[in-house]
Structure 1
Amino acid sequence: MDNKTKLESHAIEPVPDELLDLPTFIGPASGSRPRNVAGDENAGIAACGSIVGQYELLGEIARGAMGVVYRARHQKLGRLAAIKMILDPDAVGADVHERFETEAKAAATLDHPGIVALFETGRWNGYPYFAMAYVDGESLLERLRSGPMTPTQAAGMAQQVSEAMAHAHKRHIIHRDLKPANILIDSEGVPHITDFGVCKDLSSSSHLTTAGELVGTPHYMPPEQAGACDSPLGPAADVYSIGAVLFAMLTGRPPFLAATPVDVVAQVLTQEPVSPKALNANIPVELSVITMKCLRKKPQQRYRDASELAADLARYLDGKPIQARPPSLYDRVHLFLQRHVFFASVSGTAVLVLLSLMGFVFASLLQTRVQLATVEVELDQTQRQLANERRLTTRFLSQRSNLSADEDRQSFITQYEMDRLSSAVEQVAESAPDVALQLAIEAAKFSIEHEIQLPETVESLLVAATTPDGETAGEDSSNGMSLAERISLAQQRIILPMSAEDRTLFGLPSLETTPAVPPTPPTP
């Protein structure tokens, strides 16, 4: 099927190459394209039929600013290979030679079916070269010229690329230039990663990239590689690039489009990409979430490396729940403000006023709820106290008719008052221990004043409250203490005295009229 038939079947306009991909940048961050320093574009080109090492050159496959790639055949084995050679070794700087050697070493280090294998290296008439496995097919860039892939195809392709890069990441190598042009698809549809010319060995002390230098392709370059200095370069950089490639496979375009490479870099640094599902409603939510996680600005918010991304893509393809999650509410608000800087600057004061008002209303609501809860507790306590008073009053009235002498009536009233205080102590002993202790003190005072027996429950509470630390209530040192002494000691332990309202509720006299505690007799 030719390209025209493919386009008609997809009903999609072809995507210009300059909108889908750009040449790899190796140089100052000025936005200028790399130039052919050799001057004569034909300089250093070996003719077809030339013998390079043990390979016969069959024809030119592609050419870049510094090098050229040939299709070749091994003279003895007959296998096809791709020969990559520097165009003019005398016209390029030492860094180009070092990058060439870096690519050869990286390819030799990596042994994975998803990475183009290296066969041998050498020199031909002074020109450095290396021979790689030949991939009979097309690049992903050529494949995307006919339009986006289906979600399943795109996820499967991204998973295989991620698994290959996971192999590289385990060996501390990051590609730094993953893009459709550097992903070759063989005749069986299997992707193979090539062109490790700008890769970085994280375990090496070599620093080919200097400050202010762009390395990579703007459309697929992560922020930390495009100039953001707040994060070191690591495996998450390749995760971003794979996410950008996945975005292109799903939508037919990279995450950012602009008139010039410099504008693309500016968008990578300052703007958030639109969700691929917003461009193609047929994209599943899970796959869109995976893609957007790869494209987060901060490396720590992406997948840690390609192996994590490959695992999540595998879960998606198997119909299992994915690990990635959509951005939280805070993240969405933050992204919204980033996308609408003008709105945020103009309406910032209004937003702050609104947030302040909402905070005030929320605080008032909380305070009201606390006050309401307090009132409910006090109301419940009052209702229980009234029920207790009714019970004691009913018992008093039922027994009053049996009393004859005034002395008996007075004694009964005194006992009634003691019963009322004792009952109040039991009522609040668990819910308000401090109040219960103060009621017990009042009952003890009443006991001393009227020479009446203090109920056992009240006395036990006073003993427990006045027993020194480390001693039990049954020891002699505590049992030898008089009731007046216990009252005095218990009063010292009161932190918050009862309010006038509580004293009225429990039928206690006001503090001004409270009789004094009889003085403690001196110890002989």
Structure 2
Amino acid sequence: MEVVKPGSVFAGYRVLSMLGRGGMGQVWLVEHPTLGRREALKIISPNPADPSFAERFRNEARTAAALDHPGIVTVYTHGVENGSPWFSMSYLEGEDLAAASALPVDDVVTVVGKVADALDYAHTRRVIHRDIKPANIVVARGPDGRIARVTVLDFGIARLMDGAKMTATNLFVGTLAYAAPEILTGEPAIPASDQYALACTTFQLLTGSQPYPGQTPMALIAGHVNTPAPRISERRPDLVHVDAVFARALAKNPADRFASCSE
């Protein structure tokens, strides 16, 4: 990956500061060269063992850029700079939910409703996210503390990464906590896979813990594939009335889940 640091120029953008780093690459706050607009620029770590990576990246970036929904981050442009694939997107004020402990129920209802609407929109355009998790949901609040905006990040990016490469990173261990059984057993991702990941995310936002809290990749996989869905009422007795909702959204067989995320 090309060396990037604050004050340098990458793909014509002036680099301001690092926003984040993970197994898939780095995200930088940059300034557009002509518009003066602040954007987020994500530099993807390419897989040298995959000669088709750059072409697949261009296809995924074009697909993500075609999505036009208030709950999906806007992708502006993309390219490959000195072997490093990158794309720029709107810079979002707010914080992702990676570090969120249990949120108030009303907040969770708002977040999940907006994410579900964004996912259903994408699914009607035959786009699967593949990596729904708290870290890919950014929430902005107004001066009164209420949620003003909910935005989903990284559509389609997970499909770029080779499975063996992902397993070697902490990022993928984190992603495993929300992965549907069919993906873990080698089946292709489908809309119901995103629904399952959203249900895992919802469970965590309501309880402060993941539904299958394994500490190793094998333990997480075994939980999703073989362990019955936990009752949320075991951790939140006040939510016993939604046990059946989670049982359905976390069904091992995708056909047994809801017809859509919003449902």
Fold-level similarity (TM above 0.5) = yes
Partner letter of residue 255 of structure 2? Q
CA distance in 2, matches of 1:68, 1:92: 20
Higher share in helix: 1
Q: Does 1:263 align with 2:219?
A: yes
Residue of 194, 201, 204 corresponding to 2:153: 194
User: Residues 443-522 of structure 1: matches in 2 within 5 Å?
Assistant: none
Partner letter of residue 293 of structure 1? R
Which consecutive residues of structure 2, in runs of 5 or more, have no partner in the other structure? none
* Identical amino acids, percent of aligned pairs: 31
CA pair 117-199 structure 1, distance change in 2 beyond 3 A = farther
User: Residues 146-161 of structure 1: matches in 2 within 5 Å?
Assistant: 147-161=101-115
Please name the residue that 2:33 is paired with: 75
Partner letter of residue 265 of structure 1? I
Q: Residue 290 of structure 1: CA displacement? A: 2.3
Please name the residue that 1:127 is paired with: 84
Q: Residue 199 of structure 1: CA displacement? A: 4.3
Q: Does 1:240 align with 2:199?
A: no
Residue of 131, 141, 148 corresponding to 1:177: 131
Q: Which runs of 4+ in 1 moved over 4 A?
A: 89-92, 208-211, 213-216
Residue of 59, 69, 83 corresponding to 2:17: 59
Please name the residue that 1:254 is paired with: 210
| Higher Cα radius of gyration | 1
- Conserved in 1, the CA contact under 8 Å of 2:232 and 2:240? no
Please name the residue that 1:507 is paired with: none
CA distance in 2, matches of 1:99, 1:63: 22
Partner letter of residue 111 of structure 2? M
Which consecutive residues of structure 1, in runs of 5 or more, have no partner in the other structure? 1-42, 201-207, 313-524
Higher share in strand: 2
CA distance in 1, matches of 2:250, 2:47: 40
Please name the residue that 2:117 is paired with: 163
Q: Residue 127 of structure 1: CA displacement? A: 2.8
CA distance in 1, matches of 2:122, 2:52: 23
Partner letter of residue 234 of structure 1? I
CA distance in 2, matches of 1:273, 1:51: 49
Residue of 216, 224, 249 corresponding to 1:294: 249
TM-score by length of 2: 0.85
After superposition, the CA RMSD in angstroms is 2.6
CA distance in 2, matches of 1:98, 1:245: 31
Q: Residue 278 of structure 1: CA displacement? A: 1.6
CA distance in 2, matches of 1:302, 1:225: 15
Count of matched residue positions in the alignment of Structure 1 and Structure 2: 251
CA distance in 2, matches of 1:138, 1:125: 31
- Conserved in 1, the CA contact under 8 Å of 2:47 and 2:53? no
Q: Residue 50 of structure 1: CA displacement? A: 2.1
The one of the two structures with greater contact order (alpha-carbon pairs below 8 A, sep at least 6) is 2
User: Residues 328-347 of structure 1: matches in 2 within 5 Å?
Assistant: none
CA distance in 1, matches of 2:44, 2:27: 9
Q: Residue 117 of structure 1: CA displacement? A: 0.7
Partner letter of residue 289 of structure 1? A
Please name the residue that 1:353 is paired with: none
Specify the SS of the correspondent of 1:148: coil
Q: Does 1:281 align with 2:237?
A: yes
Specify the SS of the correspondent of 1:61: strand
Partner letter of residue 252 of structure 2? K
Please name the residue that 1:324 is paired with: none
User: Residues 297-446 of structure 1: matches in 2 within 5 Å?
Assistant: 297-306=252-261, 310=262, 312=263
Q: Residue 228 of structure 1: CA displacement? A: 6.4
CA distance in 2, matches of 1:228, 1:66: 21
CA pair 99-148 structure 1, distance change in 2 beyond 3 A = farther
